[in-house]
């Protein structure tokens, strides 16, 4: 294998969720910012809701003129 081609691996990378939850994991980036984690994801919470990423749901509704 070639030397010095792999990124640095951080065993203490900090993950910050939009809901405010933080935890530590291993990653090639020191800080990771995520929108959904296991504390707020509908699958883990049992809550039925639409997770909207960058307005995709509204764009879909506008495109097909859906109400609601």
HEC sequence for 10-65: EEEEEEEECCCCEEEEEECCCEEEECCCCCCCHHHHCCCCCCCCCCHHHHHHHHHC
Question: 0.75 exceeded by the pTM?
Answer: no
Q: Is residue 1 part of a domain?
A: no
Q: Is residue 4 part of a domain?
A: no
User: Which pLDDT band, with edges at 50, 70 and 90, does 63 fall under?
Assistant: confident
DSSP reduced 3-state for 5: coil
State the residue range of the domain holding 25.
Answer: 10-64
> Each residue of 9-62: pLDDT tens digit?
999 999 999 889 999 999 999 999 998 888 887 776 777 666 666 677 777 778
pLDDT at 66 > cutoff 70:
no
Q: Distance of alpha carbon 2 from its chain centroid, rounded? A: 32
Q: Is residue 3 part of a domain?
A: no
């Amino acid at each position: 294998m070639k030397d010095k081609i792999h990124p640095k691996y951080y065993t203490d990378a900090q993950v910050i969720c939009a809901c405010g939850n933080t935890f530590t994991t291993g990653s090639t980036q020191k800080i990771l910012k995520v929108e959904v984690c296991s504390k707020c994801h509908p699958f883990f919470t049992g809550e039925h809701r639409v997770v909207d990423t960058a307005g995709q749901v509204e764009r879909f509704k506008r495109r097909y003129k859906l109400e609601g």
